């Protein structure tokens, strides 16, 4: 009789990242059900201390697969003890550029690439100025710095402003990209779309990549956003296709999955495949494959270089991938 694999993860089922944590938990629940993995999920509540305690206990217990938490800050806290113990941490929920380190197997594309598609469209529209309304923390800084670098390559006049301080009249005719926590992004977009006679010429937000952004109604229309995943029927060597994953998720949960759920499930399938193949940590940099999330490849510094972000636009109350920006 084959002994089932054990996997463990902390997710924010409460606290500031509960929206994303619940989506990731649903994605992983489907993966565990399909593969027969015994999955333990602990609510970290957004607390680094709670997450670190849980992973420390799982290291002591020798749990087979350790999946990372949601949020770059939490990944930043638990990666050193896990990877320092010689274990792999399967990262689906942190994309800040500074996270890359040996042993941290990241599936998401780096945060610095999140707004590449939006910046490309701003250049195509020949906007006069690009403003990045940035919140606090290393993740927001990485997204903003990546957008500014992309803008400089296009020869655009671009700069950052503090999130929440930008009024609609200050951004008339500009391209504005917003990066902060979900609620902060939504509040900023609402302010910029608050009936100003001269709105921004282009508006993008990291929060626009989540289905809940549609709750803004008319204010969401036309807003660009980055997503780590868009479902396709492309067959992957590891796990199901994106379309098959989405269909299974709809049957279980009753609504469409977000990219947060997809990237969590993809991490589970990849972790299980690598374990089954008997690959060692030193085998992973340079190894190429694909999952329901898309292409996977790590460079020598363990930075994800195979996967790319897709840019979506809100149209008629739903997300639509931007042709030419995928």
With respect to residue 150, please indicate whether it lies within any of the assigned structural domains. Answer: yes
Q: Which residue has the tokens 């796990």?
A: 239
Q: 45 lies in which domain range?
A: 6-109+230-297
User: Which of 178, 198, 227 is at the close of a domain?
Assistant: 227
254, 277: one domain: yes
203, 56: one domain: no
pLDDT at residue number 2: 55
Q: State the burial class of residue 255 (Cβ atoms within 10 Å of its Cβ: 0-12, 13-18, 19+).
A: exposed
DSSP state of 219: G
Closest to 266 measured CA to CA, from 90, 94, 122: 90
With respect to residue 318, please indicate whether it lies within any of the assigned structural domains. Answer: no
Q: How far apart are CA 246 and CA 229, in angstroms?
A: 11
With respect to residue 1, please indicate whether it lies within any of the assigned structural domains. Answer: no
With respect to residue 13, please indicate whether it lies within any of the assigned structural domains. Answer: yes
Q: How far apart are CA 35 and CA 245, in angstroms?
A: 13
Counting residues of the chain whose pLDDT is more than 70, the rounded percentage is 97
243, 221: one domain: no
With respect to residue 317, please indicate whether it lies within any of the assigned structural domains. Answer: no
Residue 222, pLDDT above cutoff 70: yes
State the CATH number of the domain containing residue 284: 3.40.50.2300
With respect to residue 279, please indicate whether it lies within any of the assigned structural domains. Answer: yes
218, 152: one domain: yes
Closest to 94 measured CA to CA, from 84, 80, 82, 79: 79
pLDDT at residue number 195: 65
pLDDT at residue number 151: 97
Closest to 148 measured CA to CA, from 165, 160, 138, 161: 160
20, 155: one domain: no
- The pTM for the full model equals 0.91
Helix (H, G, I), strand (E, B) or coil at 311: strand
Q: Which residue has the tokens 């565990």?
A: 32
The residue-averaged pLDDT of 31-58 equals 98
Q: Which residue has the tokens 């926590």?
A: 181
94, 119: one domain: no
pLDDT at residue number 1: 42
| 168-189 per-position pLDDT tens digit | 888 889 999 999 999 999 999 9
Give the chain's domain count.
Answer: 2
With respect to residue 23, please indicate whether it lies within any of the assigned structural domains. Answer: yes
> What confidence tier does 310 reach under pLDDT thresholds 50, 70, 90?
very high
| 4-38 per-position pLDDT tens digit | 799 999 999 999 999 999 999 999 999 999 999 99
With respect to residue 190, please indicate whether it lies within any of the assigned structural domains. Answer: yes
Beta strands (DSSP E) in the chain are: 6-11, 38-43, 65-67, 89-91, 104-106, 130-134, 158-162, 175-179, 202-205, 224-227, 288-291, 294-297, 310-315, 318-321
The residue-averaged pLDDT of 89-105 equals 97
Cα 217 to Cα 193, 315, 317: the distances in Å are 11, 10, 7
Phi first, then psi, for residue 310 (nearest 5°) are -105, 140
User: Which of 189, 206, 227 is at the close of a domain?
Assistant: 227
User: Which of 227, 243, 258 is at the close of a domain?
Assistant: 227
194, 263: one domain: no
Mean pLDDT, the chain, rounded, equals 94
151, 197: one domain: yes
As a residue count, the chain comes to 326
């Amino acid at each position: 009789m084959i002994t089932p694999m054990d996997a463990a993860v902390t997710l924010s089922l409460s606290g500031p990242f509960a929206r994303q944590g619940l989506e990731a938990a649903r994605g992983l629940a489907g993966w565990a059900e399909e593969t027969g993995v015994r999955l333990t999920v602990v609510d970290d509540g957004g607390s680094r201390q709670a997450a670190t305690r849980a992973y420390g206990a799982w290291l002591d217990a020798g749990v087979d697969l350790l999946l990372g938490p949601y949020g770059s800050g939490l990944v930043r806290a638990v990666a050193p003890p896990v990877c320092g113990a010689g274990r792999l941490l399967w990262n689906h929920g942190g994309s800040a550029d500074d996270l890359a380190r040996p042993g941290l197997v990241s599936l998401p594309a780096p945060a610095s690439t999140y707004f590449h598609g939006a910046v490309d469209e701003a250049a195509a529209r020949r906007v006069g100025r690009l403003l990045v309304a940035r919140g606090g923390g290393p993740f927001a800084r990485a997204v903003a710095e990546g957008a500014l670098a992309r803008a400089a390559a296009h020869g655009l006049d671009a700069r950052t402003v503090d999130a929440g301080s930008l009024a609609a009249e200050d951004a008339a005719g500009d391209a504005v990209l917003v990066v902060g926590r979900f609620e902060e992004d939504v509040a900023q977009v609402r302010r910029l779309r608050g009936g100003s006679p001269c709105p921004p010429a282009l508006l993008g937000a990291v929060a626009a990549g989540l289905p809940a952004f549609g709750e803004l109604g008319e204010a969401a229309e036309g807003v660009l956003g980055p997503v780590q995943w868009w479902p396709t029927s492309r067959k992957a060597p590891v796990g199901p296709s994106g379309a098959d994953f989405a269909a299974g998720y709809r049957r279980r949960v009753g609504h469409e999955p977000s990219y947060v759920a997809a990237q969590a499930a993809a991490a589970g399938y990849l972790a299980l495949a690598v374990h089954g193949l008997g690959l060692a940590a030193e085998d992973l940099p340079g190894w190429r494959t694909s999952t329901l999330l898309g292409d996977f490849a790590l460079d020598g510094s363990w930075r994800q270089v195979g996967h790319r972000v897709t840019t979506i636009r809100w149209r008629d109350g739903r997300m639509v991938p931007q042709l030419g920006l995928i």
